[in-house]
């Protein structure tokens, strides 16, 4: 999907109170950014931030960080982010850099509607590929938790196998989230769009000690 260019995106990103422009300098010390010892939840591919903003409001005793590689998408989210949300920070970078930014500091990772990279030759780019799971191991605290949501059945099936092969066990699973009994779901921008079209949403939460 072609992304819209956003006027003044560089200025918005550089000057936002939510953006951490030098994230690697905080590796191992993210508690200093939030000035507390609360658990940190990380969303990889945060889009326009709807999911994280709502979570941060509901759970003030959890710190939320969103990582988004598209500066245009992130800038769109910043244009609408007018509130003071002290437990929310954002990073403009690629997921490949994740272990250079965090060190045993993340309690939970959200993978919401990640690019499915459907071609077999691109499977190493999927955020649930073994290569990424090994990187996540480096940034988690003792217990490792991942929650994935997607509308892509192929990615979902690939992820279940990948999680299992990497030692994760399934805590929660739904093959049709919006028809399930899960009541605390917070929707992303994509999820809202897909659900209005009647498309099925898959969810899995996995844990590894």
pLDDT per position as a tens digit, 150-195? 999 999 999 999 999 999 999 999 999 999 999 899 999 989 988 8
Whether 89 has a pLDDT exceeding 80, the answer reads yes
pLDDT one-digit tens code per residue, 193-206: 888 898 999 999 99
- CA–CA distance, 41 with 185 (Å, rounded to integer): 15
CATH superfamily entry for domain 9-208: Vaccinia Virus protein VP39 (3.40.50.150)
Longest dimension (CA), the chain: 45
The per-residue b/e assignment along 124-161, b for 16 or more CB within 10 angstroms, e otherwise, is: ebbbbbeebbebbeebbeeebbbbbbbbbeebbebbbe
pLDDT given for residue 1 in this prediction: 43
184 has catalytic annotation: no
pLDDT one-digit tens code per residue, 12-49: 999 999 999 999 999 999 999 999 999 999 999 999 99
Among 87, 135, 77, residue whose Cα is nearest residue 111: 135
Strands (E), 13-113: 40-44, 63-67, 88-91, 108-112
Taking CB atoms within 8 Å and a gap of at least 24, the contacts of 124-132 are 126/155, 126/158, 126/159, 126/162, 127/44, 127/45, 127/95, 128/155, 128/158, 128/159, 128/162, 128/163, 129/162, 130/162, 130/165, 130/166, 132/95
pLDDT given for residue 8 in this prediction: 85
Among 94, 80, 96, 85, residue whose Cα is nearest residue 63: 85
CB 29 within 8 A of CB 16: no
Whether 4 has a pLDDT exceeding 50, the answer reads yes
Active-site hit among 71, 115, 123, 137 = 115
- CA–CA distance, 77 with 56 (Å, rounded to integer): 15
All structural domains of the chain with their residue ranges: 9-208
pTM value is: 0.94
């Amino acid at each position: 999907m072609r992304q819209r260019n956003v006027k003044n995106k560089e200025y918005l990103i550089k000057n936002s109170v939510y953006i951490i422009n030098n994230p690697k300098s905080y590796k191992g010390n993210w508690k200093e950014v939030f000035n507390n010892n609360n658990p940190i939840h990380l969303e990889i591919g945060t889009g326009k931030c709807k999911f994280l903003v709502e979570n941060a409001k509901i759970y003030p005793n959890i710190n939320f960080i969103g990582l988004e590689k598209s500066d245009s998408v992130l800038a769109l989210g910043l244009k609408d982010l007018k509130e003071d949300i002290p437990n929310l920070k954002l990073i403009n970078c690629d997921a490949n850099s994740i272990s250079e930014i965090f060190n045993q500091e993340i309690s939970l990772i959200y993978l919401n509607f990640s690019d499915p990279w459907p071609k077999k030759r691109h499977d190493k780019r999927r955020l649930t590929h073994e290569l990424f799971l090994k990187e996540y191991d480096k940034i988690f605290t003792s217990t490792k938790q991942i929650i994935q949501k997607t509308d892509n059945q192929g990615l979902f099936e690939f992820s279940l196998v990948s999680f299992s092969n990497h030692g994760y066990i399934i805590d929660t699973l739904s093959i049709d989230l919006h028809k399930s009994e899960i009541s605390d779901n917070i929707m992303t921008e994509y999820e809202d769009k897909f659900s209005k079209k009647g498309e099925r949403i898959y969810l899995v939460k996995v844990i590894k000690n």
